[in-house]
Amino acid sequence: MIRVDAYSQIQNLYNVSKPAGNRSNAAAAAAPDFKDRLNISGQGKDLQVAKQAVAQSPDIREDRVAALKAAYQSGRNNISANAVADKILENYEL
């Protein structure tokens, strides 16, 4: 047999039996007004500024491309395939 009176005593302890609509006007007025907020840390703000700066910068540095193109066309920029391969291997530490 289940003890119903023990359950009702526990229910009274936690005030579960009271519906939320039975609050008095004074209690409803004193209830805090909860609102959602978003707080961005200083580091997050710095990251936003950095992302905007990167987004505004061009993907291709036209001045560098033009200088390399002129050097290549004039024959001043002779890079061997072996030198390129060595740099690639150096980057990947192979």
**Structural contact between residues 31 and 37, judged by C-beta atoms closer than 8 angstroms:** no
In a domain, 72, yes or no: yes
In a domain, 84, yes or no: yes
* Position 17 confidence tier, pLDDT thresholds 50, 70, 90: very low
In a domain, 4, yes or no: no
Question: How many structural domains compose the chain?
Answer: 1
The residue range of the domain holding 75 is 62-94
**Integer Cα distance of 83 and 91 in angstroms:** 12
* Position 13 confidence tier, pLDDT thresholds 50, 70, 90: low
Burial (CB count <10 Å: 0-12, 13-18, 19+), residue 87: exposed
In a domain, 86, yes or no: yes
In a domain, 26, yes or no: no
pLDDT in tens, 34-92: 888 888 888 989 999 999 998 888 888 889 999 989 988 898 877 889 999 999 999 88
In a domain, 15, yes or no: no
Question: Does pTM surpass 0.85?
Answer: no
91: which 2 tokens?
């980057």
In a domain, 52, yes or no: no
**Integer Cα distance of 30 and 45 in angstroms:** 36
